[in-house]
Structure 1
Amino acid sequence: MLEENKALIHDFLMKSNKEGRTIVEFCVPNFTAHIGASPTMNLQEFQKFQTNYYASFSESQITLEDMIAEDDKVAFRGVVRAMHTGEFNGIPASGKSVVVPVIGMAKITNGKIVEWWNSPDRLSWMQQIGAVR
């Protein structure tokens, strides 16, 4: 079961980046997301968050560097690479490439993602697009 859970998270991340959307088929309807210091999101709010991200950052790709599974959870560490080509939370497109380390974890029940935690390095991310120095 642990390898299947790791494969689910791998596929969720890769397919989401490839298609530029949240792959809701991988999630339960009462899914909950915790992204950095943002308020907790339900599935629809997470989809909106992801839609905003993919509209602002083209060519998004994630390289997974580590995955660890235990019981009903999978933790991951990776690097996201993307191009800032659209306005993001009021920050005009910079045209700059970003490389952002990310760590996260997912809780899985019956082959579906129930809860999601994701902590990108927001300071580095905002520095790279010129939003902060």
Structure 2
Amino acid sequence: MSTETNKAIAINFYKEQDRLKGKLSATLTAPNYTFSLNGGPPITAAEHEGMGAMFWAAFPDIEQTVEETIAEGDKVAVCFTMRATHTGNFEGVPASGKQIAVSGMGILRIVDGKVAEFQEAFDIMGLMQQIGAIPTPA
């Protein structure tokens, strides 16, 4: 597939994740799909959906905006901004009603038009500061 096609698949993957509230689109996800977050070990699609359910329960209006994509071969790098409202418990932090905006990056490996591997890192420290769980530096 062309790098432009792979970029479109990556952008659509983020949009579908938002639309499906953390679930993965079967049409965009390879059968052997793996995901890793912030350098953690790879997890399965089912485990990723479980993690997604936790995020969307705490931030039900998540919207991920893809800001930039760069592609080479079968990989697409994505810079994104995640915006949401903290209306549920997250990592033991009760709902604050605060709006968050955090940046992140993902690398998606596309095989036969589907995402086979997804590595993502985002500003969890910034998120925790924005919901009041961690003090912001003075």
Normalised to the residue count of structure 2, the TM-score between the two structures is 0.91
Matching residue's letter, 2:116? V
Q: Do residues 90 (structure 1) and 80 (structure 2) align?
A: no
Q: Secondary structure at the match of 2:71?
A: strand
CA RMSD, aligned part only? 1.1
Partner of 2:125: 123
Matching residue's letter, 2:7? K
Give the gaps of 5 or more residues in structure 2: none
Deviations, residues 5-26 of structure 1 (Å, cap 9, x unaligned): 1111111101211231322311
Partner of 1:81: 83
Deviation at 1:121, TM superposition (A): 0.5
Contact 2:16 2:25 in 1 (8 A): no
Partner of 2:9: 8
Matching residue's letter, 1:127? Q
Deviations, residues 24-57 of structure 1 (Å, cap 9, x unaligned): 3111122111101433211110010011111110
Alignment of 1:1-133 (within 5 A): 1-25=2-26, 26-133=28-135
Q: Percentage identity across aligned positions?
A: 35
Matching residue's letter, 1:71? G
Please give the alpha-carbon distance, in whole angstroms, between the structure 1 residues aligned to 2:39 and 2:87.
24
Q: 1:50 to 1:64 in 2, by over 3 A?
A: same
Deviation at 1:68, TM superposition (A): 0.6
Q: Secondary structure at the match of 1:107?
A: strand
Deviation at 1:92, TM superposition (A): 1.0
Normalised to the residue count of structure 1, the TM-score between the two structures is 0.94
Please give the alpha-carbon distance, in whole angstroms, between the structure 2 residues aligned to 1:58 and 1:45.
19
Give the count of matched residue pairs. 133
Please state which structure has a larger fraction of its residues in helix.
1
Q: Which ranges of 4 or more aligned residues in structure 1 deviate by more than 4 Å?
A: none
Matching residue's letter, 1:15? E
Deviations, residues 53-87 of structure 1 (Å, cap 9, x unaligned): 11110211112111011000000101110001111
Please state which structure has a larger fraction of its residues in strand.
1
Deviation at 1:108, TM superposition (A): 0.8
